[in-house]
Structure 1
Amino acid sequence: MVGRDCRLLLVKTVLGMERVAASYIAEIDPGARIEPLPRGFKGLVLVEASRDKYEVAREIEAKVPEAEKVIVAEACTEAEPAKIAEAAAALAPEFISSNETFAVRTVRRGRHNFTSIDVNVVVGDAVRRATGAQVNLRYPDKVVAVEIIQDLALIAFYPGSREWRKMRPGKYPLYKLFRRFSIAQMPYLGPLDACRTMGVRIGREVQNFEVGELVVSPIGLVDARQLSVFLEGVFEGIESRYQIQRKSYGRDVRQVPVYVQDLYQLVRGRYNEPIIVFEPEGDPASRRAKDILEIVKRSRRVTLLFGSREGIPEGIYRFADLVLDIAPGITLSTEYAAASALIAIGSIIHDMLALDQDSDSNSETSNERDSKGD
């Protein structure tokens, strides 16, 4: 079945919810042929609609939250790259104009003598020749979706805006900002089991945000054993989170370095660098958004100070550029203070950073065009 003759919809669900979704879809279209786990593949429900497939798809999206994605097939063909490409090229001019960009996304299930990349290449070339459109793999205007289920291939077209992406235009990657922050954390001292637990949590949090450095900053004379156990926990927390990031991120990850320095000596040594103290006595962070942005834009390193069982001494407030309260009326526990502050700062100034990034990108593009014109 090619073109409008294909009445199939592919519904993707969370694993284990296939039959639940199928039962609700049956209420929407009682005459439909519904196959949960087609060919034994989990997370799928194959639906052959008995009435207008677009209307059925809209109702599923509106009434069935168990449906993660609803893909309306414009063509159904054998799972052979050449036949898929032929069908996609025949339909593509109806959905993709010559001044748009597109990308082919193939999901292959089952055993075949070709790969998903093979399909992407063949289909992409056929669609490009049929439409005159250009390929944009990151942010396409339109997506050609090829869903292969063993011997069956479904071909669909939808706007690129429907793709959920972690990063897209208008979003600033905040890890670039956080790498310029130095976290000065007073150590959590006391019972050894609590020292270690708190150290692990703090270590995971600073690594989670990939800050520039963590400086453990005690005041004066402290118990060496308690400090040692706290630091062991910090290193454990950093390492555990770092290993997860290495496996799951599609970019290089930087492991947070750890130092130890007396709090007063740290403040003295950074007298000419911006310092921000986070304590309940400070101004609401949102009220100082412009000041935070100005500090971030002009400084290579910004030091953020956090207390522990005791807060940052008030004498240090005089040496700080800002004293901020990120949750007025709430005293944050030690392990959440740094994470909460980083989230607050990122949320407050994100749009301004993204706007600057877009301006820089537009400027670079204009310069490139001027250079080519010359």
Structure 2
Amino acid sequence: MADEISGGQNLVALVRVKPGAEDRAAKELSDLFAKFKVGAEVRESGIGGNLFVFSSAPKGYIAAVLARAKLAYSRTILLVDATSRADAESIIKAASRVLADYLMKKKIGSFRVKARIRGSTIEEKEIEVVVGKALKESTGLVVDLENPDATIYVSIVGEIAAITVA
């Protein structure tokens, strides 16, 4: 999916910006990446207040550059572990891969799914419940909405779902 939307680069971050400040935020991010010689492209998502960052650089390097920055126009930066189409079946497949990779690095007993949706008619609670149920069945982990060991974030922007686990 990432190659379909990026021409070969990976979607490495979803950036939520102040509404109406997309152009300024994109320039600010582009200047930051140029300063640190990161080959990254910042694009508007087509949904107000959301920018995509594409790069072939490792996600950890992108994270380190963003952590150093004082960004005036960016509100939230979500580093992306996987992308999929914005339908439940595709999201479940991508979230299952992300969680499986996470479980290889860290032992956890519980999780929750948090969804944020912009530019789609899909309901956040619907995604949280459907994805959570599928992941619970496939992993045997406990769903804990209050104090989970990990959270799977699903951010849908238009036709694209960006997934990460933390």
Report the TM-score range of the alignment, normalised by the length of the smaller protein: 0.7 to 0.9
- In 2, distance between residues paired with 1:152 and 1:138? 27
Percentage of matched positions with identical amino acids: 25
Match for residue 56 of structure 1? 62
Q: Deviations over 1:176-213 (max 9, x none)?
A: xxxxxxxxxxxxxxxxxxxxxxxxxxxxxxxxxxxxxx
What's the TM-score, normalizing by structure 1?
0.38
Match for residue 33 of structure 2? 29
Query: Would you tell me which structure has more helix in proportion to its own residues?
Result: 1
Structure 1: which 5+ residue stretches go unaligned? 159-374
- What is the CA distance between 1:144 and its match in structure 2? 0.5
Q: Matched residue pairs, number?
A: 153
Is 1:116 aligned to residue 124 of structure 2? yes
Is 1:18 aligned to residue 22 of structure 2? yes
Query: Would you tell me which structure has more strand in proportion to its own residues?
Result: 2
Match for residue 157 of structure 1? 165
Report the residue type matching 1:153 in the other structure: A
What's the TM-score, normalizing by structure 2?
0.79
Q: Which SS does the other structure have where 1:42 is aligned? A: coil
Match for residue 284 of structure 1? none
Is 1:91 aligned to residue 98 of structure 2? yes
After the TM superposition, which residues 222-241 of structure 1 pair with which residues of structure 2 at under 5 Å, given as runs? none
- In 2, distance between residues paired with 1:25 and 1:65? 8
After the TM superposition, which residues 106-185 of structure 1 pair with which residues of structure 2 at under 5 Å, given as runs? 106-112=115-121, 114-158=122-166
Q: Which SS does the other structure have where 2:146 is aligned? A: coil
- In 2, distance between residues paired with 1:128 and 1:65? 37
Structure 2: which 5+ residue stretches go unaligned? 3-8
Q: Which SS does the other structure have where 2:98 is aligned? A: helix
Q: Higher Cα Rg: structure 1 or 2? A: 1
After the TM superposition, which residues 151-300 of structure 1 pair with which residues of structure 2 at under 5 Å, given as runs? 151-158=159-166
